[in-house]
Amino acid sequence: MSNTARSEPASKHLLAALARPDGLILAADAAAVGLHEALRTEFTHRRVTRLRRGVYLPTPHWECLSTDDRYLFRIRAFAAVSVNPPVFSHHSAAAIWGFPRPSSWPLDVHIISPSASGGRSKPGVVRHSASAPRFSPTDAMTRGGLLVTPPADTAVAMARILPFPEAVAMMDKAIHLPRMMVVGGTPESALATRGELRAALDILARAGRRAGKDAALRAGDFASTRSDSGGESISRAHMFLLGFAAPELQVRFDDAEGFIAFVDFFWRGINKVGEFDGLGKYLKGHYTRGRTTAEVVMDEKRREDRIRACGPSVSRWDWPIARDLVAFGAFLTNIGVPRTR
């Protein structure tokens, strides 16, 4: 019998005994019960993955995680070994609140520092000043067991450092008013009210010269409660930057059978519906509601046929087109969307 085979029972016992409810394994917990060397062996054989010094996750668990969830586990790993509960901000707060992923999540975690200077204190951690422009750790909220800057503050902080389309996606998500996914359902509440977002922007506006201040204020003015996904927000921002006519958002369509759908974009003047198609529509449980991918595709086709029967033509695009300004501009021109400037 190989050494690997002999060690597997110990491995299973170790993971069962030490794993926390979220799956994390702490070296301190292993040492406390005399299993530090066993944990080291698990790491050597790559049966656990180290997220940061002293924090591990079973490798099969890690390999199954999405990009978003991997960053969230890095955040949880940092919190698990922090002496005092950290207040997460910027990218980390955005991930915790479920904001749309920017081009990529960083490897670093971002936290609020009580010191005036903020700055990077050690590898893997970025500290931000609590006075930039103004934030008290007592204002922190709890989300998933983690302390985090409020949604409006998070959106404003991110809008200062992101390109305009991604900044808009952050703002939109913060104030988005979820509509019922099924007629007759109960809509959820927004993460932040427009008033809370405006208050956070007003603090920034009064803060004097700040990096990214004008960009954040511009994105805040453009934000909408009706953008239903990050892809829709990016698309809408690119329409604006390219000078195309602004569409109506989330317009409801009904026919003789009743409710059909809320469409992403509608240009009433040209009777054109536009739909952003992200993978989430076909894979995420929030959208599929127990249906297979094939069933979702067929339901989308029937939905689109019913919309077309009402008169409008329907055009769809996905992430590769939405993120490429040149390609998106050509696409909108080809489907007849007029430019206003």
188 DSSP assignment: P
Q: What is the pLDDT of residues 29-59, one digit of tens each?
A: 999 988 888 899 999 999 999 999 999 999 9
What mean pLDDT do residues 140-149 have?
95
Q: Which residues, in sequence order, are CB contacts of 54 under 8 Å at separation 6+?
A: 26, 27, 28, 81
C-alpha 69/C-alpha 22 separation (Å) is: 12
In 3-state terms, what secondary structure has residue 144?
Answer: coil
For residue 163, pLDDT beyond 80:
yes
Q: What percent of the chain has pLDDT over 70?
A: 84
* Selected residue with higher pLDDT from 5 and 278: 278
- Residue 212 pLDDT exceeds 70: yes
Q: What is the pLDDT of residue 290?
A: 65
The structure tokens 């949880």 sit at: 76
> Where residue 8 falls among pLDDT bands split at 50, 70, 90?
low
Bridge partner list, 56? 25, 50
Q: What is the mean pLDDT of residues 266-287?
A: 76
Once rounded to an integer, what is the mean pLDDT over residues 56-78? 96
Give the range among 173-187, 220-234, 265-279 with minimum mean pLDDT: 173-187
Stretch 283-291: mean pLDDT, rounded? 55
Per-residue pLDDT at 227: 94
Structure tokens at 155: 């959106």
Helix/strand/coil for 261: strand
pLDDT band at 15 (very low <50, low <70, confident <90, very high): low
pTM: 0.86
pLDDT band at 182 (very low <50, low <70, confident <90, very high): very low
Residue 7 has pLDDT above 60, yes or no: no
Burial 330-340 (b: 16+ CB within 10 A, else e): ebbeebebeee
- The whole-number pLDDT of residue 284 equals 53
Residue 2 is predicted with a pLDDT of 47
Pairing of strands 119-122, 125-129: antiparallel
The contacts of residue 43 (CB under 8 Å, 6+ apart) are 50, 56
Which residues in 176-204 are b (16+ Cβ under 10 Å) and which e?
beeeeeeeeeeeeebbbbbebbbebbeeb
Average pLDDT, the chain: 87
pLDDT in tens, 100-127: 998 889 999 999 987 655 555 577 899 9
| Residue 136 in this model has a pLDDT that exceeds 80 | no
pLDDT exceeds 50 at position 312: yes
What does the alpha-carbon distance between residue 299 and residue 236 come to, in Å, rounded to a whole number? Answer: 25
Instruction: Specify the pLDDT at position 250.
Output: 95
Task: Please return the burial class of 34, using the count of CB atoms within 10 Å of its CB with bins 0-12, 13-18 and 19+.
Answer: exposed
* Rounded Cα distance, 114 and 118, in Å: 8
Position 138 pLDDT exceeds 80: no
